[in-house]
Amino acid sequence: MDNSWSSDPFSLALEAHRHAGYPALNEKEQAHLLLGRNPNAIPALPKIPELDSLPGALMKRYVFLSRQSFRPYFIASDYIERSIQSHKNFPQHDGDFIVSLPDGKYKIIYQERGNILYEEGFENKDMLVNNLINKLFEKYQLGG
């Protein structure tokens, strides 16, 4: 492949995947991408060392699993637990975090410079999981 037309990693990725014909991925590999993990770990995909996640513009070319099929992969990823722990370790960091409340409820907080800008509450973990999965599918404009 002639990469002389652009050295931008995003453009290189788009061209490399187009050139590879967007190979089919199994369900586990699709979940891997949707969880934001490194696409270079999937043998069938072109390797773009400068990128550690798949550009969002390519997500619709590879991810066809349903929300229900993705759910066990999402739960197994420990995303919620890692977000809770991250906030406990670095409570003043900027970003979005999950907080587990003593009454079994959860909330997502969005904070900047230690100030909470926005909160979203959930009655239980199941509602939180559904919300997070829906947000991922909406972010990449996926069906399912």
pLDDT for 1-25, tens place per residue? 444 445 788 898 999 999 999 999 9
Q: Please indicate, yes or no, if residue 2 is contained in any of the structural domains.
A: no
Average pLDDT, the chain: 92
Sheet with 106-112: strands ordered across? 95-100, 106-112, 115-122
Domain ranges, residue 105: 72-139
Asked if pLDDT for residue 56 goes beyond 50, the answer is: yes
Asked if pLDDT for residue 98 goes beyond 50, the answer is: yes
Taking a C-beta distance cutoff of 8 angstroms, is the pair 34, 136 a contact? Answer: yes
Residue where a domain terminates, one of 44, 64, 84:
64
Residue where a domain terminates, one of 64, 83, 98:
64
**Number of domains forming the structure of the chain:** 2
Asked if pLDDT for residue 113 goes beyond 90, the answer is: no
Confidence (pLDDT) at 3: 46
Q: Please indicate, yes or no, if residue 121 is contained in any of the structural domains.
A: yes
Sign of the four-CA dihedral 38, 44, 45, 47:
positive
Helix (H, G, I), strand (E, B) or coil at 117: strand
Confidence of residue 111 (pLDDT cuts 50, 70, 90): very high
Q: Quick one: 132 and 77 in the same domain?
A: yes
Q: Quick one: 52 and 36 in the same domain?
A: yes
Q: Please indicate, yes or no, if residue 4 is contained in any of the structural domains.
A: no
The torsion region of residue 45 among left (phi > 0), alpha (psi -120 to 50) and beta comes to beta
Average pLDDT over residues 104-115: 93
